[in-house]
Structure 1
Amino acid sequence: MSIQIEAPPMTDVAMSSGKPTSIVRSAFLTVAMRWSDRLIGVVSMLILARLLVPADFGIIAMASLVIAFADVLFELGVHVALIQNKNATQADYDTAWTIRLIQSGISTAIVFVTAPWAADYFNEPRVAPVIQALALTFVLHGFENIGIVSFQKNMQFGKDFRFLFTKRFAGFVVTIVAAWLMQSYWALVIGNIAGRTVGLIQSYTMHPMRPRPSLAKFREIFGISQWMLVGSIGGYLQGKLHSLIVGGREDAGVMGAYSLAGQISSMPTTELLAPLNRVLFPAFVRVKNDLAELKRVFLLAQGVQTLIAMPAAIGVALVAEDLVTVFLGEKWRITVPFIQIFAVMGFLRAITTSGSYILLTFGKTRLTALSAWGQVVLFAALALLAFPDAGALGIAKVRLAVALTGFVAFIALLLQQFKPLRLTDILTSIARPVGAVILMGFAVFYTAEAIALQGPLLLASKVLVGAATYSVTILVLWWLVGRPDGAESYLLEKLRGLRRHRA
């Protein structure tokens, strides 16, 4: 069967008309839809936090570390090769699908073999059967229709969202029902498998492609994917090695709190940045030969990301104690210092996320892989050699120190690879949000000192004061520097457009 990929609408490829139509419209569409999806995740987390205990989350977190490592081997990044190839044929898609099937088989075998060893390492025998049950998700994902990659490639983000949302909602419903009936961590396992099963079925109902086994384009795809694999392993260790160490040094309860804190603290930045990131890569690829336009689009994208995600990250750190008390309960207070540390890391991520897609656009997968591995080596040296007895909180602090070092190194790498970009360009794009966030922090702190409220009312007061302070400060700073074109002007223009549309 011949491949059938819909061409993107003209508005989705108008990258040189002076206004970044594709990035902006697609980004805001996907942010809105992603937050609808994430609302399900938040509700699920709040319900499960009340039904289950930290140790239940810890068992799942431990199992997820093993699953995530196997997932790295499973995901060679064949979707990246397909997106980069503007003239991808049916043979390319068939080969990519076949590679994924092979990877899924290898990953499943690895999971079953390593499950007992993982349980011994974590000193938690309940982990082994959970890992083995979750291995089924690799098989389900491996058989998904590779044609759905075209949703992202052609910037059809409505379809992309519908596919992801359906899986998410199915998993949510099954998880909550199972948790209510079982009061056990197995509810999370059952929900995960249910979501993957729905995703498998949905992939073939939403896209007409029917991939067939083939390795005809193996050399072309693997030429890109091999460095994606190296980078993915480095990325896994960069993102998960700290959890592996904590899991080996702490019990399931502490591990559960550490894991949940990571989810809560990353939620604002992840859910704001992830939709835009899905837009950035294909959009950057389309204009990569026009460096002036690429620079303009990059700086606008970074400005919007920083303007929105930076206050969200720091805001979570400022209200962490109230947030945990109100929504999770006293049994989760151990998560507060973890949330505060991880939120600062989200602050750094808000500045660098666009740059990583610039390097990927230029095909610098080797450099990004080596960058990730550099941070892994530094963290391992500190955590295992310099601080061999550090607990969960100590590991979190080491991770923050490495993130700061990696942030500086990444900016230097980006400037070296993207010649038209200057350090002053980056500083200008983040200066006003940084200044506004500092004032927001003082405002939230003095709000807590000045009013005699507790619980939900105190939390609401801090959020309102912080949001108002940040918004007013941003507008004042922007006005003082002459109201230049950028993230602020773009967002204001979109708000005016919404008002005109409603009128």
Structure 2
Amino acid sequence: MHNTSLKSTATKGIIWSAIDKFAVQFGQFVVGIVLARILIPEDFGLMGMLAIFIALSQTFIESGLGMGLIQRQDRKEIDFSTLFVFNLVVSSFFYLLLFFSAPFISRFFEQPKLIDLTRILGLSLFVNAFAIVPRTKLTIAVDFKSIAKSNLAGMIVGGLSGVLSAINGYGVWSLVIQILVGSLASSISLWFFSNWSPSIAFSKKSFKSLFDFGSKLLVAGLYAQLLNNIYNICLGKFYPAASLGYYTRAKSFADLSAGTIVSVLQQATFPILTAVQYDKEKLVSIYSRMIRMSAFFIIPIMTLIALLAKPIVILLLTEKWATLIPLLQWMVFARIFLPMSAVNLNLLNAIGRSDLFLKVDLSKLPLTLLAMVVTIPLGVKAMIIGHVITSALSFLINAYLPGKFYGYGPIHQLKDMLPVFVAAAGMAIPVIVLSSFMDNLVLQLFFGGLLGLIAYVFICWMLKLGELEEVWELLLKFKEKRVW
């Protein structure tokens, strides 16, 4: 790509990816609020018990081959067909595995409902497998506009189906219906936009080449999913289902911001970084810019959520979820370094070093295991505090190799983030003062959020942060030219 073309493509890609992720996450967030007001914490706890089994199966199905195809420069049609056949075969295998394992899962958690829930929810694996190749083709083309439309279709159709089911008394099955119907709608849309005709051709040579890259991502993905969901298993096994329901809701709230930004960065920047992987100066420029911009958005957002956790939870979910408030306050800080860590790891994949990606991920295992051993007996809040500590240490580990290769390591990155932390701390003061003098939760949420935003922008302006100016220029360009 030429410089101008690359910049234009990157801008459009990031904007459409952001529209996609934020619109979908916000829509799912709204649907989740409606469902939480109708359903009970135990229903979400039951779904949380199955999360690790679905996540691990999905990771095996994807196996990093799609990422390998995006990273490759000389793609052929046989590569796409090979990926398609692989996805279908592996998804069928894991569905059958879940189907016959359902009674064992049910006995482990001592929840009889899990037998049928596992067997029906497992169908989503097969549905999602059909969408992998169309999504990969659209990602290679940096056509995030079509991906956004497909994901929005899935969110809207699935969300409506789930809410209507909940209103009609389907209980936990409403959550299953939401996932299955949403996945089906999204997959159909991706096929329509990709305009790809599949074949059943399979090349051992192509598979071996893709798997050489993807195998490291597979192991890293399995490791990540296991760590992300191991707490679900422990909570589901040793604590009431309601405790797991509170934990999963806290993660859901925190991931609305951090998880969305991570998804945008991983989806939009990977093909761009891959395109300039041999131009060190340009690569570092894009990479460092993403670190700074991620911090500029995520740090104040997470700080505000923590400060306004009480009105957010009580107003949106009602008093029955009040136990969630302190858990949410800690969980957002456990996610505050997540986007910057994702950029660091994404860089390793973009330059074709999935082996280092795997080594970096595995190096964090002792930290996580230690945190689990210490905090799980102490309860849910202690577990989340453990998340806060391990996530901060994990960021330092994730930034080490990019710093070694490109001279932009953890110390340099933290220096660039320091003004943002200062601005967020300054923002917190007036919000805390306002909340202490205002009892009405609606007014707390509205005026606290507004005052926090104004204070943050003002402090950033006083500190002359380049990211503020860059966002302003982007908004003006967006208004004038309409990138779509």
Query: TM-score normalised by the shorter chain: which range applies?
Result: over 0.9
Q: Deviations over 1:361-405 (max 9, x none)?
A: 122222222332333343224423x45623222222222222222
**Distance in structure 1 (CA, Å) of the matches to 2:174 and 2:72:** 40
Judging changes above 3 Å, is the alpha-carbon distance between structure 1 residues 286 and 228 closer, same or farther for their aligned structure 2 residues? same
Cα distance, 1:145 vs structure 2 = 6.5
**Distance in structure 2 (CA, Å) of the matches to 1:163 and 1:455:** 36
Tell me which residue corresponds to 1:282: 271
Amino acid at match of 1:117: F
Which of 174, 178, 192 is the equivalent residue of 1:205? 192
Tell me which residue corresponds to 1:47: 34
Q: Does 1:434 align with 2:421?
A: yes
Deviates more, 1:175-184 or 1:264-273: 264-273
**Distance in structure 2 (CA, Å) of the matches to 1:487 and 1:154:** 28
**Distance in structure 2 (CA, Å) of the matches to 1:281 and 1:107:** 28
1:373-388 equivalences in 2 (<5 Å): 373-384=362-373, 386-387=374-375
Q: Does 1:389 align with 2:377?
A: yes
**Distance in structure 1 (CA, Å) of the matches to 2:359 and 2:409:** 23
Amino acid at match of 1:397: I
Deviates more, 1:221-230 or 1:209-218: 209-218
Tell me which residue corresponds to 2:360: 371
Contact in 2 for aligned 1:238/1:373 (Cα 8 Å) = no
Tell me which residue corresponds to 1:4: none
**Distance in structure 2 (CA, Å) of the matches to 1:415 and 1:488:** 25
Q: Deviations over 1:13-42 (max 9, x none)?
A: 44x349933323321232234333233212
Tell me which residue corresponds to 1:403: 391
Contact in 1 for aligned 2:217/2:354 (Cα 8 Å) = yes
Q: CA RMSD in A?
A: 2.1
Q: Does 1:319 align with 2:308?
A: yes
Cα distance, 1:127 vs structure 2 = 1.8
Judging changes above 3 Å, is the alpha-carbon distance between structure 1 residues 276 and 350 closer, same or farther for their aligned structure 2 residues? closer
Tell me which residue corresponds to 1:350: 339
Contact in 1 for aligned 2:87/2:129 (Cα 8 Å) = yes
Tell me which residue corresponds to 2:474: 494
Cα distance, 1:91 vs structure 2 = 0.6
Contact in 2 for aligned 1:375/1:406 (Cα 8 Å) = yes
Cα distance, 1:187 vs structure 2 = 0.9
**Distance in structure 2 (CA, Å) of the matches to 1:371 and 1:421:** 16
Tell me which residue corresponds to 2:110: 123
Cα distance, 1:273 vs structure 2 = 3.6
Tell me which residue corresponds to 2:122: 135
Give the structure-2-normalised TM-score. Answer: 0.93
Contact in 2 for aligned 1:383/1:390 (Cα 8 Å) = no
Contact in 2 for aligned 1:145/1:203 (Cα 8 Å) = no
**Distance in structure 1 (CA, Å) of the matches to 2:5 and 2:187:** 40
Tell me which residue corresponds to 1:78: 65
Contact in 2 for aligned 1:96/1:146 (Cα 8 Å) = yes
Which of 170, 174, 178 is the equivalent residue of 2:157? 170
Judging changes above 3 Å, is the alpha-carbon distance between structure 1 residues 30 and 72 closer, same or farther for their aligned structure 2 residues? closer
Contact in 1 for aligned 2:296/2:420 (Cα 8 Å) = yes
Contact in 1 for aligned 2:234/2:376 (Cα 8 Å) = no
Deviates more, 1:364-373 or 1:76-85: 364-373
Tell me which residue corresponds to 1:304: 293
**Distance in structure 2 (CA, Å) of the matches to 1:18 and 1:213:** 35
**Which stretches in structure 1 are left out of the alignment for 5+ residues?**
1-12
Contact in 2 for aligned 1:115/1:129 (Cα 8 Å) = yes
Which of 248, 258, 264 is the equivalent residue of 1:269? 258
**Distance in structure 1 (CA, Å) of the matches to 2:13 and 2:134:** 20
SS of residue matched to 2:323: helix
Judging changes above 3 Å, is the alpha-carbon distance between structure 1 residues 176 and 460 closer, same or farther for their aligned structure 2 residues? same
Tell me which residue corresponds to 1:9: none
Which of 49, 59, 62 is the equivalent residue of 2:46? 59
Amino acid at match of 1:429: D
**Distance in structure 2 (CA, Å) of the matches to 1:461 and 1:102:** 54
SS of residue matched to 1:88: coil
Q: Deviations over 1:430-460 (max 9, x none)?
A: 12211101111222212222x2332111111
**Distance in structure 2 (CA, Å) of the matches to 1:71 and 1:176:** 25
**Distance in structure 1 (CA, Å) of the matches to 2:399 and 2:26:** 33
1:206-225 equivalences in 2 (<5 Å): 206-216=193-203, 217-225=206-214
Q: Deviations over 1:43-72 (max 9, x none)?
A: 211210111011111111112222112222
Contact in 1 for aligned 2:84/2:133 (Cα 8 Å) = yes
Q: Does 1:460 align with 2:436?
A: no
Contact in 1 for aligned 2:402/2:409 (Cα 8 Å) = no
Tell me which residue corresponds to 1:294: 283
Q: Does 1:190 align with 2:170?
A: no
Q: Deviations over 1:436-488 (max 9, x none)?
A: 01111222212222x2332111111211111111110011101xxxx6xx423
How many equivalent residue pairs?
480
Q: Does 1:414 align with 2:394?
A: no
Contact in 1 for aligned 2:435/2:448 (Cα 8 Å) = yes
Amino acid at match of 1:153: I
Cα distance, 1:266 vs structure 2 = 1.6
Contact in 1 for aligned 2:161/2:177 (Cα 8 Å) = yes
Contact in 2 for aligned 1:145/1:210 (Cα 8 Å) = no
Tell me which residue corresponds to 1:90: 77
Cα distance, 1:122 vs structure 2 = 1.9
Judging changes above 3 Å, is the alpha-carbon distance between structure 1 residues 424 and 22 closer, same or farther for their aligned structure 2 residues? farther
**Distance in structure 2 (CA, Å) of the matches to 1:29 and 1:444:** 32
Contact in 2 for aligned 1:265/1:317 (Cα 8 Å) = no
Deviates more, 1:226-235 or 1:387-396: 387-396
Contact in 2 for aligned 1:292/1:420 (Cα 8 Å) = no
**Distance in structure 1 (CA, Å) of the matches to 2:240 and 2:157:** 31
Amino acid at match of 1:491: V
SS of residue matched to 2:245: helix
SS of residue matched to 1:389: helix
Cα distance, 1:112 vs structure 2 = 1.8
Amino acid at match of 1:413: L
Which of 11, 28, 40 is the equivalent residue of 1:24? 11
**Distance in structure 1 (CA, Å) of the matches to 2:75 and 2:481:** 39
SS of residue matched to 1:110: helix
Judging changes above 3 Å, is the alpha-carbon distance between structure 1 residues 402 and 422 closer, same or farther for their aligned structure 2 residues? closer
**Distance in structure 2 (CA, Å) of the matches to 1:235 and 1:330:** 34
Q: Does 1:477 align with 2:457?
A: no
